[in-house]
């Protein structure tokens, strides 16, 4: 069974483009270098940003978080986030989410 994590952030409204670019860089790096299974970024109606990320297991996710390969993007994320909610970690039991590539 794989792991899913829900991340939530309140982002500086003047730095949304920086946030999105850093999120993409981190996510692509986690996929290419750290074994991540991908993520989707969402903007909620109440002004928060949320990402649903998939990992093969908790160990892979923990190792990726310690990686220094994407420290610049990680620092941008830290700089532009005004507030964050606690992560919600979930074990995937049934998966009917379809994959559509190229969604912007």
Stretch 81-99: mean pLDDT: 90
CA pair distance 34, 39, nearest whole angstrom: 13
User: Over 80: is that where the pLDDT of 64 sits?
Assistant: yes
103 pLDDT tier (thresholds 50, 70, 90): low
DSSP 70: T
Stretch 70-91: mean pLDDT: 94
CA pair distance 97, 11, nearest whole angstrom: 27
Residue 44: which CATH number?
3.30.70.100
CA pair distance 62, 15, nearest whole angstrom: 27
Stretch 82-100: mean pLDDT: 89
The domain tally of the chain equals: 1
The pTM (predicted TM-score) of the whole model is 0.86
Stretch 20-26: mean pLDDT: 95
Q: Could you tell me if residue 20 is inside a domain?
A: yes
Q: Could you tell me if residue 101 is inside a domain?
A: no
Question: Is 34 in contact with 64 (CB distance < 8 Å)?
Answer: yes
Mean of pLDDT over the chain: 91
Instruction: Quote the tokens at residue 36.
Output: 């991540």
Q: Could you tell me if residue 59 is inside a domain?
A: yes
Domain span at 29: 3-91
Stretch 24-51: mean pLDDT: 95
């Amino acid at each position: 069974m794989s792991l899913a994590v829900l991340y939530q952030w309140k982002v500086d409204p003047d730095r949304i483009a920086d946030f999105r670019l850093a999120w993409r860089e981190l996510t692509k790096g986690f996929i290419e270098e750290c074994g991540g299974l991908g993520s989707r970024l969402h903007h909620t109606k109440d002004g928060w940003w949320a990402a649903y990320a998939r990992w093969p297991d908790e160990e892979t996710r923990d190792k990726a978080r310690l990686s220094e390969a994407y420290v610049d993007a990680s620092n941008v994320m830290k700089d532009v986030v005004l507030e964050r909610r606690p992560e919600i970690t979930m074990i995937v039991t049934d998966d009917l989410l379809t994959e559509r590539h190229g969604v912007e």
